[in-house]
Structure 1
Amino acid sequence: MTQLNNRFSSFFLIALMAFLLGCASTSKQEGTGEYFDDTVVTTKVKAAILNEPSLKSAEINVETFKGVVQLSGFVNSQVDINKAVEVVSRVNGVKSVKNDMRVK
């Protein structure tokens, strides 16, 4: 019975370690917690853009990776680009903004 408990404990420990290592992040892939955090940041950024009356939010795409927000899409003017970067940089959780937007 003790040998069976030891085998079960060893198996459980190995499975737990594999699970935890599988959730760890790398430089190119997020861990589970980071993915959730980035999803929250993306949602906040989209809401901030939507709440800015001078911006057409449907034309701005938002992606977040480890707190770095990438904006892409086409807008009407350089003023819109500057405003979007300004609005996004004020959102809590945004570490930096990468601007890939283009003027139509």
Structure 2
Amino acid sequence: MALPEASAPDGAKLFKNQCATCHTIHASDPKRQGPTLDGVYGRKAGSVADFHYSPGFAQADWNWDEAHLDPWLANPQAVIPGAIMPYHQGKAEVRTAIIGYLKDLH
């Protein structure tokens, strides 16, 4: 008897459970500890108006995409030294699901 295939992680659910404490997905939502992720995919890093970023973001001269979001979610401080984000996600499939969800919001 074959085991049932595992379903892909649900990016929206993962975002709600792991990211929504600090981030919103609508620019009109009340501010939280982290910047809004409304339109984050493709946006220049560190560019949300009226959000105080850690100093390392001044050196981030790139836009958020898979190539930057994946290592960021795995270890933010390795991508931007001094970044203030305690989240670290070691599971590639979870990062991929969250990134897919953020990309779909774009």
- TM bracket (short chain): under 0.3
| TM-score, normalization by structure 1 | 0.28
Whose Rg is larger? 1
- Compare the two structures and name the one with the higher strand fraction: 1
- Compare the two structures and name the one with the higher helix fraction: 1
| TM-score, normalization by structure 2 | 0.28
